[in-house]
Amino acid sequence: MRSLPLITSLAWRNLWRNKRRTMVILFAMVLGVWAMIVTAAFMRGMAIQMLDDTVNNLTGHIQIHHKNYLDDPVIENSFFGNDTALLNTLKLPDIIHWSSRIRVPAVISSERETRGVVLLAIEPEAEANISFLKNAITEGQYFSSNDENGIIIGKKLAQNLETRLGKRVVVMSQNTKNEIADSGYRISGIYDTSGEGMETDFIFITKRAAEQLLDSTGLSSEIAVITRSLDTVLSVQKNLAAKNPELDIQDWSSLQPYTKLVVEMYSDFQYVWHLIVFLAMSFGIINTLLMTIYERTREFGLFQALGLKPGFILVQVWTEALFMLTIALFIGNFVSWLTVMTTGDGIDVSAFSQGMELAQMSNIIPFVILFEDLLLANIIVIALGLLTSLYPAWKASQLVPADAITRI
Amino acid sequence: MNTTLNFAWRNIWRHPRRTILTMLAIAFGAALLVFSIGLQLGQYDLMIKGSISIYQGLLQVQKKGYLDEPKIRNDIKDIQNLARTIRDKTGIKSITARANGFALVSSEQRSYGTLITGVEPEYEKLVSSIPGTIKEGRYLLSDDSHEVIIGKSLANNLRIKTGDELTLMGSGRDGSIAATILPVSGIYDSGSKELDRNLIQIPIKTFQEVFSMGNAGHALIFYHDEIKKEHFFRQQLQQLIADNNQLLTLSWDQLQPGIKQAIELDYSSGWFMYLVLVAIITLSILNTFLMSVLERSREFGIMLALGYKPFNIAKLVMLEALILTFFALTLGTLAGLAINVYFAVYGLTFEGMEEIAQMYNMSATLHPQITFESILIGPLVIFIFTILSALYPAMKIRHLQPVEAMRKI
C-alpha cells in the first residue's frame, strides 16, 4: 500500500503523455456514456408518459366492474355503485380519488351523420380529479353539476357529425329493460386531445342524465380508482378484491397489457443497449491501452529490472484505465445532465403524431433520469471497463525484463 | 503500385493484435448494423403488408374530402361501373368498390353502433383478407344477396351466431331512416380486435338499397402485394379517373398515416443509435490510425529523404486504412448477413411480441429483410466514417520534414 501514491501519480502522468490520443479515446467514451444515459432517459420518459396517459385516459390505476362487464360491456352488467358496504371498502388511506361511471356502447346522430361511440356518464366533480376530460375542454364548459343535461363530445367527432357547440344531437343506447332508448342533448362542451382516437370514441353526459336515458338509477358500470402512488396499486387492488369478491377488480397492468408490456420492454432494452454501446467502446479502450503499453515496453522492462513486481505494473496500468473511465463517466454524466436540462419539457415528436398515437404515446417525450438508470449505466461502464482493461494490464505485467529493455 | 500494395499489406500486419482489434471493432459495428437494419426493414414490411392487406388496400380512389370527412354524402356515382371499367382497362382484378355507413346493430338482446360496409363479394376476396378469415358460416354470396357478415368480438358482444337475424338502423344518404333485418351468414376473425369489433359487411347493392345510395359508393380499393410498385399503379389509376376531377387517388400512407409515421419514428431513432455507435467506433479507429502514423515518423522521414513524395506516403497510409476497412467490413457484413439469413429462415420472436404485433396487424414472428439496401447501407456509412478518420493522420504527413522526422523515435 506504500506504493499507492507512486502508482497513482505514475498512472496520472502516463495518461497525459499523449494528450491527443487520450482525448480521442475519452471523447469516444464520453459519447458512449452520454448515449447510454440519454437514451435510457428518453425511453424512461416515453414509458412514464405512456403510463400517465393510460391512467389519465379513463383507465385510472384500478377499475371495479361487474364480473361480466369486460366481456360484455352493457348496462345489464353493472353493479350498485352507491352501495355503502362497497364505498366503505374504498376508504383506504392509499386511495386518493375515485369516480363512478356508466360506460356503455351508444350511437350518436346529428342532423346529418351517425356514429358509433362509447357513452360515459360521469359524476363531474369526482371525474375531474381522475381523468383528462376537464382540462381538455377547448370550447364550452365542463359540467358544473350532476344536474346538467348537456353533452361533451370530441372535436373530431363534432367535425365528422358536422355539428358544433350549442347544437343538438341524439344519443341512442340500450336501457336496463333491454330496449333502445334515445334522448336529445345540447352540446355543452367540446374536448381536444392529442390523439383523434379518443375524440371520436368517447362522449360524456352526467350520471344523472344517464339515469333518465338508461333507467339506471344507482347503477355503475365501473369505478376508476387512483392510488397514492404506483407502488401502492397492487396492495390496494388486492385489498379491494378480497373485500368485494363478487366484483371484478383489476389494476392498470391487466386492463392495459400493451402499456405494461411496452413499459417493461423499454426497461429491458436498456441493458441490451448499454451492452452494445459498451462493446463498441471496449475495442477502443483495449487498443489504446495496448498502444500505450507497447510504446513503454522499455520502461516496463526497466521497472522490473529495478525490482518492481509484475503486480505493480498490472495495478499501474489498471489505475490508468480507472482514471480514464472515471473521467469519461464524470464528463459523460455531466453532459447528459446538461442535455436533459436544456431540452426543458422534452423532445417534441409531434411531426409523428399519428404514429405516436398508434403506439399509444403522446407528442412530447420528456427526458426522465431515474437514479437507478444512472447507476446502471455507470456501473456497467466502470465494471466492464475494468474487466476489459485487465487484459492489457496483464499483458504489460508479463513482459520479460531483458527482452523488454533491448526493444526500441 | 504493386510495391505500394505490398508495403501497405506488410504495414497492416506489423502489429497483428492491434490490427485485429481494430478490424473487430469495425466488423462488430458492421454486423450489428446489417442485422438490425435488416430486422427493422423486415418489420416495417410486415407492418405495411399487414395494414394494407387486411382491409385498407394499397391504393384507394375516393371523392376529394372524403378522407378527412368520411360522410355518407361524399360519394362516387355509379361506383360499380367505375370499378368494372378500371378492372377491364388495367386487366387487374384486385379492385373493388365499397360503400360505408354507420348503423346501430341490434340482436335480440344487445345493440352496438358499428361501421357498416357494402362490398362486392367477388372482388372483395381479392382485395382484403377478411373474407378469408371466416370462422363460422360462409362469406357473402353476391352483390345483392340479403345477408351480413360480422366480426367475432362483435358477434360475442351481440350474443349471436350464424343464422341469427340482425337489425340494422342508421340514416340514409337523404337523411331518411335506413333500417333492415338481415341474417348473419358468416363470422370472421381477422386478428385485428378493432376491426372485429367495429366492422360488419353486407353486399353493396343491399347497402345502396338500405341507405338510399342509388348506384353510389365511397371508395375503390386497389390491392397489390408489391408495395414498391405503388407509384406505378397510382399513375395508372390517376389516368383512368382523370376525366372526373372530383376523384382522388390515395396511397396507403395517406390512408393510414399512423403506420408510416410509426415507421419513420422508429427508423430515425434507430439511426440515432447507429450513428452514436459508428461515431464511437470511428473514434477508436482514429486512434489506431493516428498511432500507426505517429510511430512511423522516423520511417517516413527516411522515405522522404530517399525521394518519396509526401503525397505518396499519404497514399500509402490511406491504402492501409482502405485495405483494413475493406476486410473488416466484409467480415462484419458476412457475419450480419449470416445472422439475418438464419432468422429469415427460422424467424425471430420474443416475449410480448405477439401483443405488440397485434397493434399493427402483423404476425408475431419477424423475418429480417435481405436486400441490397438492408445489407449495404450500414457498412457504407461505417466505410465513409472510417475513411474520413484515416484522412486526418494522412494529412499530417504533408507537414513532415525529413530531418526532423528521422530524429524522432
Same domain, A238 and A289: no
- Compare all CA atoms of chain A with the CA of B263 and give the residue at the minimum distance: A355
Give the end of a domain, one of A212, A245, A278.
A245
Residue A250 lies in a domain: no
A268: which chain B residues are within 8 Å (Cβ-Cβ)? none
Contact (CB<8Å) B22/A287: yes
Beta strands in B120-262 (DSSP E): 134-137, 148-151, 165-171, 177-188, 199-203, 219-222, 247-251
A218 belongs to a structural domain: yes
> Do the Cβ atoms of B262 and A20 come within 8 Å?
no
H or E element, residue B21: helix B16-51
pLDDT at B79 over 60: yes
Q: By the CB < 8 Å criterion, does B24 face chain A?
A: yes
In a domain, A254, yes or no: no
Instruction: Provide φ and ψ at B287, rounded to 5°.
Output: -60, -45
The helix/strand/coil state of B136 is strand
Give the E-state strand segments of B30-173 in sequence order: 59-63, 95-106, 111-119, 134-137, 148-151, 165-171
Indicate yes or no: CB of A358 within 8 angstroms of CB of B360.
yes
Question: Are A283 and B21 inside 8 Å of each other by CB?
Answer: yes
* Residue A73 falls inside a structural domain: yes
Test the B interface: residue of A107, A162, A292 with most B CBs within 10 Å: A107
Q: Does residue A100 sit in the same domain as residue A218?
A: yes
Tens-digit pLDDT string for chain A (408 aa) = 457 788 888 888 888 888 888 898 999 999 999 999 999 998 898 888 888 888 888 899 999 999 999 888 888 899 998 888 898 999 999 999 999 999 999 999 998 888 889 999 999 999 999 989 999 999 999 999 988 899 999 999 999 899 999 999 999 998 888 888 999 999 999 999 877 778 889 999 999 999 999 998 889 999 999 999 888 999 999 999 999 999 999 999 998 888 888 888 888 888 899 999 999 999 989 988 888 888 888 888 888 888 888 888 889 889 999 999 999 999 999 999 999 888 877 788 777 777 777 777 777 888 888 898 999 999 999 999 999 999 999 988 887 777 777 765
> Does B259 reach chain A within 8 Å, measured CB to CB?
yes
Q: What are phi and psi of B219, to 5 degrees?
A: -155, 145
Based on the domain organization, do A46 and A167 belong to the same domain?
Answer: no
Report how many domains make up chain A: 2
CA distance B306 to chain A (A): 23
Instruction: Give the whole-angstrom CA distance, residue B241 versus residue B246.
Output: 9
Specify whether A271 is located in the same domain as A140.
no
Closest partner residue to B102 (CB to CB) among A115, A173, A356 is A115
Contact B144, B136 (CB under 8 A): no
Shared domain for A212 and A270, answered yes or no, is: no
Q: Are the CB atoms for A117 and B113 separated by under 8 Å?
A: yes
Q: Are residues A18 and A77 in the same domain?
A: no
* Statement to judge: residues A233 and A95 lie in one domain: yes
B408 at interface of A, judged by CB pairs closer than 8 A: no
SS (H, E, C) chain A: CCCHHHHHHHHHHHHCCCHHHHHHHHHHHHHHHHHHHHHHHHHHHHHHHHHHHHHHHHHCCEEEEECCCCCCCCCCCCEECCCHHHHHHCCCCCEEEEEEEEEEEEEEECCCCEEEEEEEEECHHHHHHHCCHHHHEEEECCCCCCCCCEEEEEHHHHHHCCCCCCCEEEEEEECCCCCEEEEEEEEEEEECCCCHHHHHHEEEEEHHHHHHHHCCCCEECEEEEEECCHHHHHHHHHHHHHHCCCEEEEEHHHHCHHHHHHHHHHHHHHHHHHHHHHHHHHHHHHHHHHHHHHHCHHHHHHHHHCCCCHHHHHHHHHHHHHHHHHHHHHHHHHHHHHHHHHCCCCEECHHHHHHHHHCCCCCEECCCCCHHHHHHHHHHHHHHHHHHHHHHHHHHHCCCHHHHHHCC
* Separation of alpha carbons A237 and A61, rounded Å: 9
- Are A21 and B291 inside 8 Å of each other by CB? yes
A95 and A29 within one domain: no
- Same structural domain for residues A35 and A73? no
DSSP label at residue B76: B
Q: Mean of the per-residue pLDDT values for chain B?
A: 89
Residues of A in contact with B39 (CB under 8 A): none
* Distance between A290 CA and the closest CA of chain B, angstroms: 8
Mutate to test the interface with B, among A180, A258, A283 (most CBs of B within 10 A): A283
Interface of B with A in 374-393 (CB under 8 A): none
Q: Is residue A105 part of a domain?
A: yes
Work out how many CB contacts closer than 8 A connect A with B: 182
Domain residues for A107? 68-245
Instruction: Please list the residues that pair with B366 across neighbouring strands.
Output: B348
Q: Output the CA angle B155-B161-B167, nearest 5 degrees.
A: 70
- Same-domain status, A294 and A162: no
Let me know if residue A61 belongs to a domain: no
Q: Which of A103-107, B125-129, B304-308, B383-387 has the lowest mean pLDDT?
A: B304-308
pLDDT in tens, B341-375: 999 998 888 777 777 777 666 777 888 989 888 89
Element containing residue B154 per DSSP (H, E)? helix B152-158
ipTM field: 0.82
* C-alpha of A75 from chain center: 34
Q: Is residue A109 part of a domain?
A: yes
Cα three-residue angle B216-B258-B242, rounded to 5 degrees: 40
Asked if residues A208 and A169 have their Cβ atoms less than 8 Å apart, the reply is no
Cell reading at A39: 437514451
Domain identity same for A265 and A321: yes
Residue A92 belongs to some domain of the structure: yes
**Do A241 and A269 fall into the same domain?**
no
Q: Which residues between 321 and 380 in chain B have a beta carbon less than 8 angstroms from any beta carbon of chain A?
A: 352, 355-356, 359-360
Cβ <8 Å between B262 and A355:
yes
Give me the residue label for grid cell 531483458. A402
pTM here is 0.85
CB contact under 8 A, A355 and B258: yes
